[in-house]
Amino acid sequence: MSIERYSYDVVVIGAGGAGLRAAVEAREAGFKVAIICKSLFGKAHTVMAEGGIAAAMGNANSSDNWQVHFRDTMRGGKFLNNWRMAELHAKESPERVWELEMWGALFDRTKEGKISQRNFGGHEYPRLAHVGDRTGLELIRTMQQRIVALQQQDGKNNGDMESHIRVFAEVTITDVLVENGKAAGVYGYRREDGSEILFEAGAVVLATGGIGKSFKVTSNSWEGTGDGHALALRAGGKLIDMEFVQFHPTGMVWPPSVRGILVTESVRGDGGVLTNSEGRRFMFDYIPEVFKDKYADTEAEADRWYKDQANNRRPPELLPRDEVARAINSEVKAGRGSPHGGVFLDVSKRLPAEEIKRRLPSMWHQFKELADVDITEQPMEVGPTCHYVMGGVQVEPDTAAAVGLQGLFAAGEVAGGMHGSNRLGGNSLSDLLVFGRRAGMGAVAYLKGNAAKPTLSEGTIKRAQERLNEPFTNTGGENPYTIHQELQQTTNDLVGIIRTKKELEESLEKLAKFRERIKNVSVSGGREFNPGFHLALDLENMLLVSECMARSALIREESRGGHTREDFPKMDSKWRQVNNVSSVEGASVNCVQERAKMLPDELAGLFEKSELAKYFTEDELAGVKGGSN
Amino acid sequence: MARPIKLRIWRGNKDGGDFHTVTVDANEGEVVLDVIHRVQATQLPDLAVRWNCKAGKCGSCSMEINGKPRLACMTRMNSFEEGETITVTPLRAFPVIRDLVTDVSFNYKKAMEIPAYAPPANLKPGEARMEQIDVERSQEFRKCIECFLCQDTCHVIRDHEENKKSFAGPRFFIRIAELDMHPLDTLRNRKQTAQENHGLGMCNITKCCTEVCPEHIRITDNAIIPMKERVVDVKYDPVRWLGSKIRKREDIS
């Protein structure tokens, strides 16, 4: 079969917020960019983000600034965050939001006509720029339209709208090609006709999003199969801290077909309360020690906070997501759940019906049309759903360059480090733009310093071609759908929200068996738009990612953020010093421990010593020069 | 709980195809897309269908269900009669790729033809000031999830391939209206170019697009009609007509 061949300066894999922002940056520096979408252009998972984009613009409360945002992010991640990424993110988010506005985004406004900002879990001040509850749609459409605007400029300048940016929709990349230790291109296939496609590239940016499809209950679409994670591993990159998986506390639980679909945190930000089957606002029973001084301990104070934030502490419904998800899980396990195995979330008593429809239009629509529930009158039933992976490709913070392979960059959910052990709501959209741009800049700087594009050898291309075609060469093997369902059940049961040594070991045994089964998976039908064929390729990625998660989770003997061990229920300062780094050697996942970097004094000085003492060892604390007492 | 239902699925490619009827279980609370996925997982592993979010937010799973343009993820199984055979076909206005998947590239080409947002030259990032009430008009159109159901149902192109060249379709009329109503956009003549370059005049306001919009955007009333009125206003007002002849072209604002 002939291979369609292209040559670009930068190939961006993924067309969500991070990928598109990287592409814009590389194009503005004059380079030629290919954007590869797994689905149609504009359908990436970014579109599902609801609540908003966190940026310390200080529009709603002028006390907000990057230092406060940085502190909130570090607290949310329980201090395992790559501090430099958290710093860059907090500093640069406002510029990225304003830039979106310059490109046509229309955010909701404050009375003064500025961009409105709403409350969210873990953020000290109202910080999320938003458009109702469809902020992700606004972000992706704006980026999409920015790409078109640049294409129109290119059309004017040189008569070809696709001279510098071309979007390849419904193309799946199966390998990052490596030549002489450098990323040199990518290989994949076009879904429309099954034809094979090869891109030579000076630099490759991974912006492929998450891994949710490895789990049974997830808010992720079919695309979230850990493609970029697996591409990086196979090409020589590394993943850090893959044990940290965010279970969003509020997914729909009924009807079964929508189980896992996201219910935005804005419902709680706008006053929604969580109750159990006894009618108790149970979150008051789950405020952890580290947050005791920041959250209200009576319903009266929590209720007052919605009107007067200066003199009251926040309601515990707005604790970071990991805390709320664990609390819901415990209530359901204790037999105090709702009829369909969740808990109740009610905003109808806080706001008038019209206000709910205005602030939460897509939630109203979603529950009305899919569950026959009118959220302006009735409570919703909600429960945890696999939403986001904090772990990901290990990168250099300033350039988003992947550790372990020159010429490879990663941004957005596929990259690790920024969010530590738990991501705050709203920090994802800002992450996409801040590090999408930085990945674009990183690729540009790399290209400028490496004049010669590596030449791809026939052997490298042939290996990629063989791997792609494997599912068709097997006959009589298993159906990929069956294996996928069983894999999802296994990760859900054994590497889920609460973990134990025994279950994690069992998961690794099971995953090893899946590896054998996947080797023989076979597909029926032809190459044209064949979802079974696609799933067969995705399975390998999901399996690889699941192995990394299970191995890292087994090694980390503590509970922190999105990693909860029933057998090690406490957070342990010694483990804050550790990053679990996964790589692939041959066919097996190898996970080693690296020392996490310590905060520099000027950033440590932003916290009170008494707070740092909750996270750092005594030795570390003694070495901190800054810090107020 | 589970009840068997009959699903009549169009299968084929650009060279033609035929209906394929299957019996499959439907469970309480399910939507058409769930049932299609079950067919895929248990009977027809290579059945082609697009989908992403499964929550009515991405606009990928557009198809025709019993002849009506719908999102499969938002069409509840309990909206059909007991024992009714449900027929699913690909969008008719676009060329079939395979089974329920069509080539919607027409829409992406049209998107590239609409002039981009043009902010004031002296506007600095962070300095934009707009009232909520002023952004809401454009925000209604920015709710669009690009499912292209409005494009599919529009008779100007549904059965008239030849019109595609000169007609952008309802999705892009709301894009133009959105920019036109954007409080800070500086590009003049958006309505005029909608008429002259994008085929606004070919729309005969039957409101079919509004009826199928899953986001309930009032495409005809809030975007198309106001633009048409302003265009007509200028074209048939004798004084302004004369003015436009003398001064080459008059802006419609």
Residues B123 and B213 in one domain: yes
- Tokens for A38, please give them: 């797994």
Asked if B115's CB is within 8 angstroms of A152's CB, the reply is yes
B25 located within any domain: yes
Residue B95 forms contact with A (CB below 8 Å): no
A314 to chain B, minimum CA–CA distance in Å? 27
A131 → closest Cβ in B53, B59, B139: B139
Residues B91 and B205 in one domain: no
Let me know: does A99 contact A435? Beta carbons within 8 Å: no
B125 → closest Cβ in A102, A481, A523: A102
B156 located within any domain: yes
- Give the 3-state DSSP-derived string for A454-512, with helices as H, strands as E and coil as C: CCCCHHHHHHHHHHHHHHHHCCCCCCHHHHHHHHHHHHHHHCCCCECHHHHHHHHHHHH
For chain B, give the mean pLDDT.
Answer: 93
A186 located within any domain: yes
Residues A302 and A407 in one domain: no
Asked if B30's CB is within 8 angstroms of A40's CB, the reply is no
- Tell me the mean pLDDT in the region B127-142: 97
Q: What are phi and psi of A273, to 5 degrees?
A: -115, 150
- Tell me the mean pLDDT in the region A539-558: 97
Order of strands, edge to edge, in the sheet holding A128-129?
A53-54, A128-129, A117-118
pLDDT band, very low/low/confident/very high, at A471 (cuts 50, 70, 90) = confident
Within 10 Å of residue A105's Cβ, how many Cβ atoms? 24
Residues A209 and A82 in one domain: yes
Interface size between A and B, measured as CB pairs under 8 A = 176
Q: What is the pLDDT of residues A603-629, one digit of tens each?
A: 999 999 999 999 999 988 888 876 555
Number of domains in chain B: 2
- Chain B CA closest to residue A263: B55
Helix crossing, A531-555 with A501-519: angle to 10°? 150
Residues of A in contact with B179 (CB under 8 A): 104
Query: Does pLDDT of A536 surpass 50?
Result: yes
Asked if A533's CB is within 8 angstroms of B53's CB, the reply is no
B131 to chain A, minimum CA–CA distance in Å? 5
Residues A216 and A151 in one domain: yes
Exposed / middle / buried, residue B14 (Cβ in 10 Å: 0-12, 13-18, 19+): exposed
Residues A430 and A512 in one domain: no
- Tokens for A473, please give them: 């060469």
Q: What is residue A628's predicted lDDT score, i.e. its pLDDT?
A: 59
pLDDT band, very low/low/confident/very high, at A228 (cuts 50, 70, 90) = very high
Residues B148 and B35 in one domain: no
B251 located within any domain: no
A628 located within any domain: no
Asked if A256's CB is within 8 angstroms of B28's CB, the reply is yes
Query: Does pLDDT of A100 surpass 70?
Result: yes
Q: What is the pLDDT of residues A414-426, one digit of tens each?
A: 999 999 999 999 9
B52 → closest Cβ in A41, A99, A222: A222
Is A597 or B141 the better-scoring residue by pLDDT? B141
Q: What is residue B252's predicted lDDT score, i.e. its pLDDT?
A: 54
Query: Does pLDDT of B242 surpass 80?
Result: no
- Tokens for A477, please give them: 């093997």
Residues A371 and A402 in one domain: no
Residues B128 and B204 in one domain: yes
Residues of A in contact with B130 (CB under 8 A): 106, 109, 113
Q: Of A354, A384, A414, which residue is a domain's last?
A: A384
A618 located within any domain: no
Looking up residue B238, the CATH number of its domain turns out to be 1.10.1060.10
Looking up residue A129, the CATH number of its domain turns out to be 3.50.50.60
Domain that holds residue A101: 3-245+388-449
Residues B93 and B185 in one domain: no
Looking up residue B58, the CATH number of its domain turns out to be 3.10.20.30
Query: Does pLDDT of A409 surpass 60?
Result: yes
Q: Of B78, B102, B126, which residue is a domain's last?
A: B102
Q: What is residue A450's predicted lDDT score, i.e. its pLDDT?
A: 83
- Chain B CA closest to residue A192: B97
Q: What is the pLDDT of residues A63-74, one digit of tens each?
A: 999 999 999 999
Asked if B112's CB is within 8 angstroms of A152's CB, the reply is yes
B48 → closest Cβ in A141, A524, A529: A529
Asked if A192's CB is within 8 angstroms of B125's CB, the reply is no
Asked if A148's CB is within 8 angstroms of B98's CB, the reply is no
Q: How far apart are CA B97 and CA B106, in angstroms?
A: 13
Asked if B128's CB is within 8 angstroms of A101's CB, the reply is yes
Q: Residues 143 to 202 of B: which have CB under 8 A from any A CB?
A: 143-146, 179, 182
Residues A347 and A397 in one domain: no
Q: What is the pLDDT of residues B56-113, one digit of tens each?
A: 999 999 999 999 999 999 999 999 998 999 999 999 999 999 999 999 999 999 999 9
Residues B15 and B57 in one domain: yes
Residues of B in contact with A485 (CB under 8 A): 41
B45 → closest Cβ in A48, A106, A532: A532
Residues B96 and B119 in one domain: no
Asked if B34's CB is within 8 angstroms of A257's CB, the reply is yes
Let me know: does A565 contact A559? Beta carbons within 8 Å: yes
Q: Around A165, how many Cα atoms within 13 Å sit in the side-chain half-sphere?
A: 30
Q: Distance between terminal CA atoms of chain A?
A: 69
Q: What is the pLDDT of residues B185-216, one digit of tens each?
A: 999 899 999 999 999 999 999 999 999 999 99
Any idea which of A252-266, A422-436, B124-138 has the lowest mean pLDDT? A252-266
Residues B97 and B115 in one domain: no
Q: Of B102, B130, B145, which residue is a domain's last?
A: B102
Beta bridge partners of A115: A109
- Chain B CA closest to residue A149: B116
Query: Does pLDDT of B253 surpass 60?
Result: no
Asked if A101's CB is within 8 angstroms of B125's CB, the reply is yes
- Give the 3-state DSSP-derived string for A55-103, with helices as H, strands as E and coil as C: CCCCCCCCCCCHHHHHHHHHHHCCCCCCHHHHHHHHHHHHHHHHHHHHC
- Tokens for A501, please give them: 């040594």
Residues B127 and B38 in one domain: no
Let me know: does A103 contact A146? Beta carbons within 8 Å: yes
Asked if B126's CB is within 8 angstroms of A57's CB, the reply is yes
B182 located within any domain: yes
Q: What is residue A472's predicted lDDT score, i.e. its pLDDT?
A: 87
A60 located within any domain: yes
Residues A128 and A221 in one domain: yes
- Helix or strand holding residue B140 (H, E): helix B132-142
Q: What is the pLDDT of residues A366-407, one digit of tens each?
A: 999 999 999 999 999 999 999 999 999 999 999 999 999 999
Pairing of β A182-190 and β A117-118: unpaired
Q: How far apart are CA A249 and CA B7, in angstroms?
A: 36
Residues 6+ apart with CB under 8 A from A234: A175, A176, A544, A584
Q: How far apart are CA A191 and CA A173, in angstroms?
A: 11
B32 located within any domain: yes
A137 → closest Cβ in B30, B57, B125: B57
- Tokens for A160, please give them: 């070809």
Looking up residue A274, the CATH number of its domain turns out to be 3.90.700.10
Residues A437 and A483 in one domain: no
Q: How far apart are CA A340 and CA A322, in angstroms?
A: 21
Q: What is the pLDDT of residues A29-62, one digit of tens each?
A: 999 999 999 999 999 999 999 899 999 999 999 9
Q: How far apart are CA A464 and CA A96, in angstroms?
A: 37
Q: What is residue A586's predicted lDDT score, i.e. its pLDDT?
A: 82
Rounded-to-10 torsion of CA B237, B240, B244, B246: 120
CA distances from A585 to A154, A273, A544, A550 (A): 44, 48, 12, 17
Residues of A in contact with B54 (CB under 8 A): 221, 258, 261
- Tokens for A28, please give them: 């503005």
Q: What is residue A94's predicted lDDT score, i.e. its pLDDT?
A: 98
Q: Quick one: which of A519, A520, A510 has its CA closest to A488?
A: A510
Q: Quick one: which of B177, B184, B174 has its CA closest to B147?
A: B174
Q: Indicate which of B146, B147, B176, B179 best probes the interface with A, i.e. most A CBs within 10 Å of its own CB.
A: B146
Asked if B97's CB is within 8 angstroms of A529's CB, the reply is yes
A267 to chain B, minimum CA–CA distance in Å? 17
Q: What is residue B96's predicted lDDT score, i.e. its pLDDT?
A: 98
A289 located within any domain: yes
Q: How far apart are CA B222 and CA B141, in angstroms?
A: 9
Query: Does pLDDT of A473 surpass 90?
Result: no
Asked if B56's CB is within 8 angstroms of A365's CB, the reply is yes
Residues A236 and A370 in one domain: no
Question: B144-174: b or e for each residue (b if 16 or more CB lie within 10 Å)?
Answer: bbbbbbbbbbbebbbeeeebbeebbbbbbbb
3-state secondary structure of A412: helix
CA dihedral sign, ordered A334, A336, A342, A344: negative
A463 located within any domain: no
Residues A347 and A363 in one domain: yes
A376 located within any domain: yes
Let me know: does A215 contact A491? Beta carbons within 8 Å: yes
Query: Does pLDDT of B241 surpass 90?
Result: no
Q: Of B102, B127, B156, which residue is a domain's last?
A: B102
Domain that holds residue B35: 3-102
Residues B65 and B153 in one domain: no
Asked if A371's CB is within 8 angstroms of B48's CB, the reply is no
For chain A, give the mean pLDDT.
Answer: 95
Residues composing chain A: 629
- Tell me the mean pLDDT in the region B221-250: 77
- Chain B CA closest to residue A254: B29
- Tell me the mean pLDDT in the region B150-168: 96
A128 located within any domain: yes
Residues A240 and A261 in one domain: no
Residues A137 and A16 in one domain: yes
Q: What is residue A567's predicted lDDT score, i.e. its pLDDT?
A: 97
A148 → closest Cβ in B98, B116, B135: B116
Q: How is residue B221 annotated by DSSP?
A: I
- Chain B CA closest to residue A48: B57
Number of domains in chain A: 3
B229 to chain A, minimum CA–CA distance in Å? 25
Q: Indicate which of B57, B139, B179, B180 best probes the interface with A, i.e. most A CBs within 10 Å of its own CB.
A: B57
Q: What is residue A524's predicted lDDT score, i.e. its pLDDT?
A: 87
Query: Does pLDDT of A130 surpass 80?
Result: yes
Residues B113 and B88 in one domain: no
Question: What's this model's pTM, rounded to 2 decimal places?
Answer: 0.95
Percentage of chain B modeled with pLDDT above 90: 87
Looking up residue A511, the CATH number of its domain turns out to be 1.20.58.100
- Tokens for A79, please give them: 């201090």
The set of catalytic residues of A is 248, 268
Residues B145 and B42 in one domain: no
Which of A169-173, B240-244, B245-249 tops mean pLDDT?
A169-173
Q: Indicate which of B10, B44, B106, B117 best probes the interface with A, i.e. most A CBs within 10 Å of its own CB.
A: B117
- Chain B CA closest to residue A262: B55
- Tokens for B180, please give them: 């036109």
Query: Does pLDDT of B237 surpass 80?
Result: no
- Chain A CA closest to residue B73: A370
pLDDT band, very low/low/confident/very high, at B250 (cuts 50, 70, 90) = very low
Query: Letter for the amino acid at A396?
Result: E
Q: How far apart are CA A317 and CA A275, in angstroms?
A: 10
Let me know: does A110 contact A102? Beta carbons within 8 Å: no
